[in-house]
Amino acid sequence: MNDVIKDLSELRLSYEQGELHESQISHDPHLQFLNWFNHALAANLHEPYAMSLATANRLGRPHVRTVLLRGATENGYDFYTNYDSQKGLDLAENPYAELLFYWPSLERQVRISGKVTKISEQESTDYYHKRPRDSQIAAHISTPQSGVIADREALQSRFEDLQQQVGDQEELAKPVFWGGYRLEADYYEFWQGRPNRLHDRLSYERTDQVWVVQRLMP
């Protein structure tokens, strides 16, 4: 058995790769996000579209998990899930959430906050039919998402039963309990690691339909 690391105080890196100046950024935070996101794609990072999604229920109890970005436009940032999942239940009670992108090899992080709404049924259906067939089946059988199941074999059995049932059926209908959400941003923060922990942090906050940029203490 490996020894447990008891002291993490000496584990640290010095961030040396970049800097972030007000003169270098777009006045539109969505365009600034796309600029950094495209850099992450071009760097061939592992799943640069993976993001942490933080939600909270009506009591303020937080939940965070990793989901995949599936759309990014001036209208908002899209992800898909089971409406009966913990995230879906949280958003039904408290429609505000935050996204976090972290690209360690670029020493960059982006936070995006705002109100979340369901996207249209047609958009959800269109995306559902773009998914691999087995992913479509998985959406059907993984319900209620986060619900307790006896063991892995029981889940696999449910999957194989539906797989056999639908066979070569041309189209599998989207489950009514599954679809997309869109976060409409009202706050962004761009973080660039810097030496000596003097990190660059620039925030964008919407005020009277104008984005106000501020530098934050690291």
Listed by start position, the domains of the chain span 13-129+175-213
65, with CB counted inside 10 A (0-12, 13-18, 19+), is middle
Average pLDDT in the 149-154 region?
Answer: 93
- Can you tell me whether residue 216 is helix, strand or coil? coil
CATH numeric code, 13-129+175-213:
2.30.110.10
Asked if the bond preceding 144 is cis, omega within 30° of 0, the reply is: yes
Catalytic residues: 197
Whole-structure pTM value: 0.92
**pLDDT confidence bin for 168, thresholds 50/70/90:** confident
- Percentage of the residues of the chain whose pLDDT score is greater than 70: 98
Distance CA 194, CA 167 (A): 55
The answer to the question of whether 145 is labelled as a binding residue is: yes
Instruction: Give 35-99 as a 3 state SS string.
Output: HHHHHHHHCCCCCCCEEEEEEECCCCCEEEEEEECCEEECCEEEEEEECCCHHHHHHHHCCEEEE
pLDDT at 2: 63
The answer to the question of whether 105 is labelled as a binding residue is: no
**pLDDT confidence bin for 203, thresholds 50/70/90:** very high
Q: pLDDT digits over 30-39, tens only?
A: 999 999 999 9
**pLDDT confidence bin for 171, thresholds 50/70/90:** confident
Distance CA 184, CA 38 (A): 20
The answer to the question of whether 58 is labelled as a binding residue is: no
Single out the residue of 164, 166, 185 nearest to residue 175, CA to CA: 166
Average pLDDT in the 133-160 region?
Answer: 91
- Other C-beta atoms closer than 10 Å to the C-beta of 100 total 17
The answer to the question of whether 135 is labelled as a binding residue is: yes
